[in-house]
């Protein structure tokens, strides 16, 4: 049990919804184990209330915080500095407060590629299909390209406010890496069929299928699954989304966003404290 004192450092998560998050459990367990006088709390914050929340938490001297949907892109407007990875991706999921100066990082991409390795699917040399161009999707694309992915097909709606940003990132990646990133319209079934036929890995990087709307899926046509395709979902509540269930039933290896959450949290923990999270302890207690 964490003892709150007058010196307790505040960290937390800003997003909506956040009540289902495992982040408070993992970070508070790590603080307790290492004897750190820190606490991690959840704050239900939307894009509309994000500016006031950031100003308030900054004024209160928060040590750092995570961002989840829908705030990973909007937060960039309120930061003083971005890490090189965050600059490439254009989204932030971790912020450190350095005496009133807010620096943004993105640990989502690393969290995903590490979780993919845990599942036996290294992104290096692979062709990947990513559904969604929000913060998580762009983080996965950027990190996968940096780690040697061969080609990335990305599907999104042209009406998405992030469409132009994704197109710009595709252009940027072509100069910075050897990975080809191709942007497609979400409703282009032919392009999706062709992309999945040549892909080794499919990732849902949207909130489709997450509680409370658990009936949704980004791949309503189950015939597009094939056994050589590993299917991943950044959603981890429910633990098996409709996408993962139908992919598993079609013979595909699957994994959810739980270990992505674990590994991005490991990075965030180090950014805030300079210490290594007791990964195996946290994994055994909260990620089995």
Sign of the torsion angle spanned by Cα atoms 118, 142, 215, 26: positive
Our answer to whether residue 72 is catalytic in this structure is yes
Q: How crowded is the C-beta side of 118, counted as CA atoms within 13 Å?
A: 19
- Rounded-to-5 percentages of helix, strand, coil across the chain: 40, 20, 40
Characterize 12-49 residue by residue with b for buried, 16 or more Cβ atoms within 10 angstroms of its Cβ, and e for exposed.
Answer: bbbbbbbeebbbbebbbbbbeeeebebbbebbebeeee
Copy the structure tokens of residue 35: 């004897």
In three-state secondary structure terms, 254 is strand
Per DSSP (E only), the strands in 119-166 are 127-131, 151-156
Q: How far apart are CA 213 and CA 266, in angstroms?
A: 29
* Measured CA distances, 248 to 127, 232, 244, 245 (Å): 20, 11, 6, 5
SS3 (DSSP) at 152 = strand
Catalytic-labelled residue, pool 63, 72, 74, 103: 72
CA dist 223 → 50, 89, 191, 197 (Å): 41, 32, 14, 11
Asked if 270 contacts 110 with a C-beta cutoff of 8 angstroms, the reply is no
Please give, one letter per residue, the 3-state secondary structure of 20-79.
CCCHHHHHHHHHHHHCCCEEEEEEECCCCCHHHHHHHHHHCCCCEEEECCCCCCHHHHHC
Catalytic site positions: 72
């Amino acid at each position: 049990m964490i003892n709150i004192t007058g010196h307790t450092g505040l960290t937390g998560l800003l997003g909506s919804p956040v009540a289902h998050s495992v982040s408070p459990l993992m970070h508070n367990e790590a603080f307790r184990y290492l004897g750190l006088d820190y606490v991690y709390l959840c704050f239900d914050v939307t894009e509309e209330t994000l500016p006031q929340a950031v100003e308030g938490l900054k004024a209160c001297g928060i040590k750092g915080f995570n961002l989840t949907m829908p705030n990973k892109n909007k937060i960039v407007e309120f930061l003083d500095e971005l890490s090189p990875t965050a600059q490439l991706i254009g989204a932030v999921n971790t912020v450190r407060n350095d005496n009133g100066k807010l620096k943004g990082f993105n640990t989502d991409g690393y969290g995903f590629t590490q979780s993919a390795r845990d599942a036996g699917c290294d992104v290096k040399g692979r062709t990947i299909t990513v559904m969604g161009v929000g913060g998580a999707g762009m983080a996965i694309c950027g990190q996968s390209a940096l780690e040697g992915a061969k080609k990335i097909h990305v599907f999104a709606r042209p009406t998405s406010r992030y469409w132009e940003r994704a197109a710009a990132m595709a252009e940027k990646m072509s100069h910075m890496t050897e990975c080809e990133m191709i942007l497609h319209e979400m409703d282009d079934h032919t392009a999706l069929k062709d992309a999945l036929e040549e892909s080794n890995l499919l990732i849902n990087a949207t909130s489709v299928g997450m509680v409370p709307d658990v009936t949704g899926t980004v791949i309503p046509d189950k015939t597009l699954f094939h056994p050589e395709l590993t299917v991943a979902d950044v959603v981890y509540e429910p633990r098996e989304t409709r996408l993962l269930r139908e992919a598993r039933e079609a013979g595909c290896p699957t994994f959810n966003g739980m270990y992505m959450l674990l590994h991005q949290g490991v990075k965030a923990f180090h950014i805030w404290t300079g210490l290594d999270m007791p990964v195996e302890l946290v994994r055994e207690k909260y990620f089995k």
